[in-house]
Amino acid sequence: MKKIDKPKKPIMYYYVIAMLIVILLNSYVFPRMAKSQIEPIDYGTFLQKLENGEISVVEIKDNQIYLQGKGDSPELFSTGTMDDPQLVDRLYSAGVTFSRVVTDTTPTLGSQIFSWIITIAIFVGIGQLFSRYMQKKMMGGNDVLSFGKSNAKIYVESKTGKTFDDVAGQEEAKEALEEIVDFLHNPTKYKDIGANLPKGALLVGPPGTGKTLLARAVAGEANVPFFSISGSEFVQMFVGMGAAKVRDLFKQAQEKAPCIVFIDEIDTIGKKRDSSGFNSNDEREQTLNQLLTEMDGFDGKEGVVILAATNRPESLDKALLRPGRFDRRIPVDLPDLQGREAILKVHARNVKVEPDLDYNAIARATAGANGAELANMINEAAIRAVKMGRETINQSDLEESVEVVLAGYQRKQAVISTKEKRIIAYHEIGHALVAAKQTDSDPVHKITIIPRTSGALGYTMQVAEQESVLMSKEELFNKIVTITGGRAAEEIVFGSITSGASNDIEQATKIARAMVTRFGMSDTFGMMALETQTNPYLGGDTSLTCSGETSSKVDAEVLAIIKSAHQRARDILNENIDKLRELSNYLLEMETITGAQFMEILNKDN
């Protein structure tokens, strides 16, 4: 990856370096050079020379005596002074010129000014460096002096090296993007007929589903440069910088056309503009306006295609979505069963695996996992294989890595008392037994009571044999029954309840609430919408759209659903209390049992 960013060494550095060199020369090198011409001699030699009449001039300076020999190019000597009262007599009788030079210890005006200049220069230098450092911190590495000309962190790859083969399970998205690839390959075909291709496409979906990957694959397939920038890069400390960056980006892209410009997390700049003064953000709005202008400004025929990704499409400004801008919306959803299997296989290509791995089983055990998690599973499996001293990944590595990614590593040293272990075992079997006894519920894949780093003390992994896009009221209700099965088992067997069901309670409530408020599955409210989902791709938070009075009725309705589900779970467990005990004891002994082992015990006649 190459970063377009001109590193400018501040001129201040050169000043400082030059100054240091001058100071060094002055204080060490020059004096040394001067001194080296003067030959030091001892006092005896000095007197000898004096008597021999070899000396013409003597100068006494501080504690040194400097002498000059006779001749055209006289030699220079120096020696230390001695307590020699006869010195003057000796010099006089030797007939040399002599004098005592008293050095002035008070600094001259010149040297005073010089030292002042140095001091000021040092302070200015430090100040400059410091303010520069502060600016960098505040502005994310941008030079404030180059206003209007941004040093945007634009990443450009001439070859992304990704192709559609690297993206699995997103067939619809790939098909939609195929058109763009074809256009970039051969723009004249479209030009000739006069067609305008979409300038921009918006990839929409939850995190980790391969949006960024798809954008890079489009560039790779089309074999064009890939400009990418994240929305947050535009939002700057100073008003106007973001807009300058947008201008810069489009200018650079147009020079390199045909190419792909990818704006990741576009919601950071593309949020709806609102008039409320409190929330308004001038900088963001200016940036957005600039983006809108640029998108209108350039001609789609030039071969610059803009892709953007977001997981909050509902928050985008309408102006961004109108024809001529991001007029194509390409959903990139969580992978389904086939998709997951395909993603696992794509990533397994890069690692060494045993030949007969069952990816389908893994895909079935990972309902709801995204592409990033699946990729991570393959990697974890490879790491585990290395730890185990194997050279290839086998099925058990994959199975374990699923749990590592979904629930964290095993907490081997977690201290859990025998009594707690028993409660956990009954709780988990409660879930599994209730699930198995309801015809509409999924059979279990695996049950374990090995604690995990995520905090899970045990869990029941359910398997979706067949994934459905629609959930019936019965299926949803059965799901709640299964979720309440854990707590129900605790109640029936131990007569007391624990905090272990907190996650179950949260989940059950969420489903029951959605049934009443969004799916129109309660008799009281029918098809009235009582809640809207604010961001479906990010956890699906909801906000109430009904009055307070209705909302308390909703609560009552939700409570009724959960209560009746709970009762149903208790009934099922009471009917199968022997199996509950048998299975729980088996789990307690084995710690982890598979769905097959579970069914075997369940179906065996006693």
Q: Give just the sign of the alpha carbon dihedral 440, 442, 443, 448.
A: negative
Q: Where are the beta strands (DSSP E) in 323-409?
A: 326-331
Residue with smaller CB distance to Zn ion, 504 or 531: 504
Among 54, 504, 531, 557, indicate the residue that binds Zn ion (CB under 5 A). 504
Residue with smaller CB distance to Zn ion, 175 or 506: 506
CB of residue 209 vs Mg ion: minimum separation in angstroms?
A: 9
CB of residue 212 vs Mg ion: minimum separation in angstroms?
A: 4
CB of residue 504 vs Zn ion: minimum separation in angstroms?
A: 4
Contact partner, 270, from Mg ion, Zn ion, ligand ADP, none, Cβ < 5-8 Å per class = none
Residue with smaller CB distance to Zn ion, 431 or 513: 431
Which stretches of the chain bind ligand ADP, using CB under 6 A?
167-170, 207-213, 309, 343, 346, 371-372, 375
Which distant-in-sequence residues (6+ apart) come within 8 Å of 5 by Cβ? 151, 153
How far is the C-alpha of 341 from the C-alpha of 325, rounded, in Å? 35
How far is the C-alpha of 248 from the C-alpha of 149, rounded, in Å? 8
Residue with smaller CB distance to ligand ADP, 340 or 431: 340
Contact partner, 213, from ligand ADP, Zn ion, Mg ion, none, Cβ < 5-8 Å per class = ligand ADP
How far is the C-alpha of 154 from the C-alpha of 246, rounded, in Å? 10
Segment interacting with Zn ion, rule: CB under 5 A, options 333-341, 440-448, 478-486, 570-578: 478-486
Q: Which two tokens stand for residue 588?
A: 């307690």
Residue 37 CB: number of other CB atoms within 10 A?
A: 8
Contact partner, 486, from ligand ADP, Mg ion, Zn ion, none, Cβ < 5-8 Å per class = Zn ion
Contact partner, 504, from Mg ion, Zn ion, ligand ADP, none, Cβ < 5-8 Å per class = Zn ion
Determine, following the binding rule CB under 5 A, whether residue 458 of this chain makes contact with Zn ion: no
CB of residue 140 vs ligand ADP: minimum separation in angstroms?
A: 22
SS3 545: coil
Point out the residue whose Cβ comes nearest to Zn ion: 486
CB of residue 378 vs ligand ADP: minimum separation in angstroms?
A: 9
User: Nearest to residue 414, comparing CAs of 405, 424, 406?
Assistant: 424
Rounded to 5 degrees, what are φ and ψ at 291?
Answer: -60, -45
- CA distances to 272, 448, 588 from 419, rounded to whole Å, are 55, 16, 11
Point out the residue whose Cβ comes nearest to Mg ion: 212
Residue with smaller CB distance to Zn ion, 228 or 441: 441
Indicate if 428 belongs to the active site: yes
How far is the C-alpha of 209 from the C-alpha of 348, rounded, in Å? 17
- CA distances to 208, 236, 272, 342, 385 from 170, rounded to whole Å, are 12, 35, 29, 10, 29
SS3 10: coil
Among the options 428, 490, 531, 557, which is catalytic? Answer: 428
Q: Residue 147, by phi and psi: left (phi above 0), alpha (psi -120 to 50) or beta? A: beta
CB of residue 295 vs Mg ion: minimum separation in angstroms?
A: 21
* Secondary-structure percent of the chain, ordered helix, strand, coil, rounded to 5: 55, 15, 35
Which stretches of the chain bind Mg ion, using CB under 5 A?
212
Site for Zn ion in 507-526 (CB under 5 A): none
Contact partner, 343, from Zn ion, Mg ion, ligand ADP, none, Cβ < 5-8 Å per class = ligand ADP
Q: Which two tokens stand for residue 73?
A: 């190019």
CB of residue 467 vs Zn ion: minimum separation in angstroms?
A: 23
Rounded to 5 degrees, what are φ and ψ at 23?
Answer: -60, -45
Residue with smaller CB distance to Mg ion, 204 or 363: 204
593 beta partners = 447
Residue with smaller CB distance to Zn ion, 380 or 504: 504
User: Nearest to residue 593, comparing CAs of 479, 377, 436?
Assistant: 436
Among 209, 486, 490, 572, indicate the residue that binds Zn ion (CB under 5 A). 486
User: Nearest to residue 19, comparing CAs of 132, 123, 122, 128?
Assistant: 122
CB of residue 149 vs ligand ADP: minimum separation in angstroms?
A: 30
Number of residues that bind Zn ion (CB under 5 A): 2
Point out the residue whose Cβ comes nearest to ligand ADP: 371
Residue with smaller CB distance to ligand ADP, 169 or 270: 169
Residue with smaller CB distance to Mg ion, 218 or 243: 218
Q: Which two tokens stand for residue 554?
A: 């909703």
Determine, following the binding rule CB under 5 A, whether residue 451 of this chain makes contact with Zn ion: no
- Terminal Cα distance for the chain, rounded: 66
Which distant-in-sequence residues (6+ apart) come within 8 Å of 540 by Cβ? 533
CB of residue 501 vs Zn ion: minimum separation in angstroms?
A: 6
Q: Which two tokens stand for residue 76?
A: 């220079």
How far is the C-alpha of 285 from the C-alpha of 291, rounded, in Å? 10
Binding site for Zn ion (CB under 5 A): 486, 504
Catalytic residues: 428
